[in-house]
Chain A
Amino acid sequence: MKKLPKILRIKTVGKQLLTCAAALLFATASQAQNIKIGVLATLDGPLALLGQDAMRGTELALEEFKYQIGSRKIEIIKESSNGKPDVAVAKAKKLIEQDRVDFLIGPLSGSEGLAIKEYAKSVPTKTFINGTSAAQELTLRDPAPNMYRFTGDGAQWQAGLGAYAYDVKKYKRVVLISEDYSFPYSQVAGFAAEFCPRGGKIVEKFWVPLGTKDFSSVIAKIPSNIDAIYIIVSGADAVNFLTQYQQSGGKLPMIGGTPSVDRNVLSVKGAFRKSTLGVITAGPISESNEDPLWQNLVKAYQKKFPDGLGSPSFAALTYYVSTKAALTALAKVDGDLSADHKQFRAALQNIRMDTPMGFVSLDANRQGIVDNFVSEVAERPDGSLYLKLVGRAKGVNQTLGVAPETFTARGPASRDNPSCP
């Protein structure tokens, strides 16, 4: 019976693994007084570089608290997702149900965040603190009562950019080239909220499927009488687009969404970097921000991670701020996670703190009210590129200063919403 040995082998391996797991479970159960925090970031897949940086941000925050709250030590359990919603939920389940973490920090991508929100609703006794996920719907509509986001959503991250593009740069007609999913929809909503009322026009929108590498035909379709290209792509796709645009002889100035010219993209070596000079963008980071909190964070990052990206990316910053907020709240209640985190959640709701991205507080949907920074890509004397601060919007809330009913009445951001004309 040739199949017999295989079955036995698998069963033996299975038994060994069972024993291993049991041992681990018992071992972990005995350290009940430790506070266990699960951290979920995209260490695999196309967002892996951002995920790695996100973990760095969390570590920096933990170090400030010396991995301890009161008399209880903090234990960190990291898990990696790959940008896909179902994997994120599976890993979150593992953290909550196998590792029995007290609360979870993450995820990173917008789509993952929406899936985790639904999962959070099914685990009301645990608390979820968002990492970077910037999907609007995470907190705008039907939020989870146990999920907190201390950072901005995609629309908040473009606050100030529309105004700067129209008033200062005098761009009146722009064309949009963007990846086709929910996060860019919210970014466009944030940009259009300022750009369009001033008279600006988004002449045409080119929604490109996720994972497109060859933008040459889209570039060929860019109409001639426009002032700038509003580009929202991330990571490797951003590098591809900028390279191809430059090679095709294009000379239009560009407006970048938050991930389009972030630290991740600016640190890639290549000829395309010349074309990024002068691109304006907005988000939670501006690298020349003289706020001492930011400068100290950069120094700490460079010291602890000499082979990192040279400066924290928006992933590192958001995870840093989220972790720090969680730990601050935890310290305020002296590590009290009893009664389904009642005190902890009250402390989270009342967080009001200065962070490297400005002052942060929460609204009634547990969404952060944050500052936003408008930057322009500039070159340092040593040839490296950085985001130079050119504008700042303070205290941006999720409804971008508009009354909540009016804002939500506009409907969820999508390919055609908003549109101007």
Chain B
Amino acid sequence: MRLPSLTKHAAVPICLLLALAPWILPEFWTLNILARAFALGIVALSLTFLVSFCGMVSLCQMTIAGAAGYTLALFSLNAAGLGVALTWPVAATCALIASTAFGAAVGWVSYRSSEVYLLMLTLAIAVCALFFVQQNMEIFNGFDGISGVVLPGFLSDPSTRPHRIYWLIYGSSAAVFAAVIYLGYTPLGMTLKAMRDNPRRLYALGYNVRTYRIIAFTIAGAIAGLGGILTTWYNAQISPGTIDVSANVAILVMCVLGGQKQPLGAFLGALLYILLDVFSPELFSRERFNLLLGTSFLLVLYFSPNGLMGFCSRWTRR
């Protein structure tokens, strides 16, 4: 995976600037825009990872992130009085395990599906999970979701929380981003890319394609889970609305808007999405946010020559 030269040269100053953001930018910017964008960006990164490394588009990444979120909420003190309260490291670990397992399950169920079938299957899984969570009162508290999730000790003081939660999210994003870049240079990463390019060749070489698909989804599940944990702590709540179809489509939109082939694209796309969400009332009209989003998405997809489309052409021409 080659980084474009701009990113390589600008990487260090940009990272430094972002780390210092709480002191440079107004609090609303660090907390409500950047922190949100990075947290969602991690979930979008899980999709970008699947697309750029493995050529698979999944419409249930937010659902997988939500699995981590719900697990975390249920294992923390919450206003709904559900679940068992554990210490935050244990709760977070369980959440991560839940999302990784869910990701592996999705990979296992979908190993025969490719391209559009995978898209539809993951969409079906997302809807299935949504309705289950929405209808179940005993564990998931139905439509109201679980609010008042108590944050870990180091985040509980309202005066330091904005800075600390920003650094937590930013630090995690940087770490995950670096991990994904690094993965590209490892044998595992190269195997996954080979699977993307020509699974038959890989199979002929003696690799078990099915296992690698499951591995890919598992890794994506872990990444999405991290994003889910951070968004749940950030919102201090989670509800079916967090994992519904439009939330999953939004992750796809972020991935495409930012550029599907680059992990950085996930974060850029998330930032653009959040900016549109926050500023469309001033720029255009509060109610027409979807119009703006749909149009941008269409235009980018239609005119952008690279990325998902490029890969897809290679795939179908074979």
Q: Once the chains are docked, how many angstroms separate the CA of A135 from the CA of B141?
A: 14
Question: What are the residues of chain A within 8 A of B29 when measuring CB–CB?
Answer: 21
Q: Once the chains are docked, how many angstroms separate the CA of A54 from the CA of B287?
A: 16
Question: What are the residues of chain B within 8 A of A84 when measuring CB–CB?
Answer: 239-241, 244
Shortest CB-to-CB span from A245 to chain B, Å, is 23
Taking a contact as CB atoms under 8 Å apart, the answer to whether B305 and A115 are in contact is no
Does A199 sit within 8 A of B, measured CB to CB? no
Q: Once the chains are docked, how many angstroms separate the CA of A262 from the CA of B27?
A: 43
Q: Which of A90-98, A187-195, A360-368 contacts B (4 or more CB under 8 A)?
A: A90-98
Shortest CB-to-CB span from B66 to chain A, Å, is 11
Specify the main secondary structure of chain A where it touches its partner.
helix
Chain A residue nearest in CB terms to B151? A122
Taking a contact as CB atoms under 8 Å apart, the answer to whether A118 and B279 are in contact is no
Shortest CB-to-CB span from A52 to chain B, Å, is 10
Q: Which of B249-265 contact A (CB under 8 A)?
A: 258-259, 261-262, 264
Does A182 sit within 8 A of B, measured CB to CB? yes
Interface size class, chain A? 35 or more
Does A410 sit within 8 A of B, measured CB to CB? no
Q: Once the chains are docked, how many angstroms separate the CA of A89 from the CA of B147?
A: 10
Q: Once the chains are docked, how many angstroms separate the CA of A181 from the CA of B29?
A: 35
Q: Which of B27, B148, B239 contacts A86 (CB 8 A)?
A: B239
Does B306 sit within 8 A of A, measured CB to CB? yes
Q: Once the chains are docked, how many angstroms separate the CA of A264 from the CA of B252?
A: 35
Taking a contact as CB atoms under 8 Å apart, the answer to whether A118 and B79 are in contact is yes
Taking a contact as CB atoms under 8 Å apart, the answer to whether B286 and A180 are in contact is no
Taking a contact as CB atoms under 8 Å apart, the answer to whether A87 and B241 are in contact is yes
Specify the main secondary structure of chain B where it touches its partner.
helix
Does B198 sit within 8 A of A, measured CB to CB? no
Taking a contact as CB atoms under 8 Å apart, the answer to whether A21 and B279 are in contact is yes
Taking a contact as CB atoms under 8 Å apart, the answer to whether A86 and B4 are in contact is no
Q: Which of A1-35 contact B (CB under 8 A)?
A: 1-4, 6-8, 10, 13-14, 17, 20-21, 24-25
Q: Which of B32, B144, B236, B305 contacts A2 (CB 8 A)?
A: B305
Q: Once the chains are docked, how many angstroms separate the CA of A3 from the CA of B258?
A: 10
Q: Once the chains are docked, how many angstroms separate the CA of A10 from the CA of B275?
A: 11
Q: Which of B131-139, B177-185, B217-225 contacts A (4 or more CB under 8 A)?
A: B131-139
Q: Which of A63-98 contact B (CB under 8 A)?
A: 78-80, 83-87, 89-90, 93-94, 97-98
Does A210 sit within 8 A of B, measured CB to CB? yes
Q: Which of A109-138 contact B (CB under 8 A)?
A: 110-111, 114-115, 117-119, 121-122, 135
Does A415 sit within 8 A of B, measured CB to CB? yes
Question: What are the residues of chain A within 8 A of B242 when measuring CB–CB?
Answer: 86
Q: 1/0 contact trace for B197-221 toward A, CB 8 Å?
A: 0000000000000000000000000
Q: Once the chains are docked, how many angstroms separate the CA of A7 from the CA of B7?
A: 9
Taking a contact as CB atoms under 8 Å apart, the answer to whether B271 and A209 are in contact is no
Does A142 sit within 8 A of B, measured CB to CB? yes
Chain B residue nearest in CB terms to A80? B286
Chain A residue nearest in CB terms to B257? A10
Does A240 sit within 8 A of B, measured CB to CB? no
Does A44 sit within 8 A of B, measured CB to CB? yes
Q: Which of A130-174 contact B (CB under 8 A)?
A: 135, 142
Chain B residue nearest in CB terms to A22? B26
Q: Once the chains are docked, how many angstroms separate the CA of A86 from the CA of B264?
A: 26
Taking a contact as CB atoms under 8 Å apart, the answer to whether A180 and B142 are in contact is yes
Q: Once the chains are docked, how many angstroms separate the CA of A94 from the CA of B282?
A: 13
Q: Once the chains are docked, how many angstroms separate the CA of A97 from the CA of B158?
A: 13
Question: What are the residues of chain A within 8 A of B238 when measuring CB–CB?
Answer: 86
Does A414 sit within 8 A of B, measured CB to CB? yes
Q: Known: A21-B279, A80-B287, A118-B237. Is A85-B32 also a contact (CB below 8 A)?
A: no
Shortest CB-to-CB span from B282 to chain A, Å, is 7
Q: Which of A43, A97, A114, A182 contacts B28 (CB 8 A)?
A: A97
Question: What are the residues of chain A within 8 A of B144 when measuring CB–CB?
Answer: 85, 110-111, 114-115, 135, 181-182
Residue of A14, A83, A86, A135 most packed against chain B (CB within 10 A): A86
Shortest CB-to-CB span from B86 to chain A, Å, is 20
Shortest CB-to-CB span from A345 to chain B, Å, is 19
Taking a contact as CB atoms under 8 Å apart, the answer to whether A4 and B282 are in contact is no
Shortest CB-to-CB span from B118 to chain A, Å, is 25
Taking a contact as CB atoms under 8 Å apart, the answer to whether B279 and A17 are in contact is yes
Shortest CB-to-CB span from B156 to chain A, Å, is 10
Taking a contact as CB atoms under 8 Å apart, the answer to whether A142 and B4 are in contact is no
Question: What are the residues of chain A within 8 A of B142 when measuring CB–CB?
Answer: 180-182
Q: Once the chains are docked, how many angstroms separate the CA of A414 from the CA of B144?
A: 13
Question: What are the residues of chain B within 8 A of A415 when measuring CB–CB?
Answer: 137
Q: Once the chains are docked, how many angstroms separate the CA of A311 from the CA of B304?
A: 51
Does B5 sit within 8 A of A, measured CB to CB? yes
B residues contacting A by CB (< 8 A) are: 4-7, 26-29, 31-32, 36, 79, 131, 134-135, 137, 142-145, 147-148, 158, 235-242, 244, 258-259, 261-262, 264, 268, 271-272, 275, 278-279, 281-283, 286-287, 304-306
A residues contacting B by CB (< 8 A) are: 1-4, 6-8, 10, 13-14, 17, 20-21, 24-25, 43-44, 78-80, 83-87, 89-90, 93-94, 97-98, 110-111, 114-115, 117-119, 121-122, 135, 142, 180-182, 209-210, 414-415
Q: Can you give 19 A-B contacts (C-beta < 8 A)?
A: A1-B4, A3-B261, A3-B262, A7-B6, A7-B7, A10-B258, A17-B275, A20-B279, A21-B29, A25-B26, A85-B241, A86-B235, A86-B239, A115-B237, A119-B236, A121-B148, A142-B79, A181-B143, A210-B143
Extra contacts, 15 of them, besides A78-B286, A114-B144 (Cβ < 8 A), are A3-B259, A3-B261, A6-B304, A10-B271, A17-B275, A17-B279, A43-B286, A84-B239, A85-B239, A90-B235, A118-B79, A118-B148, A180-B142, A181-B143, A209-B134
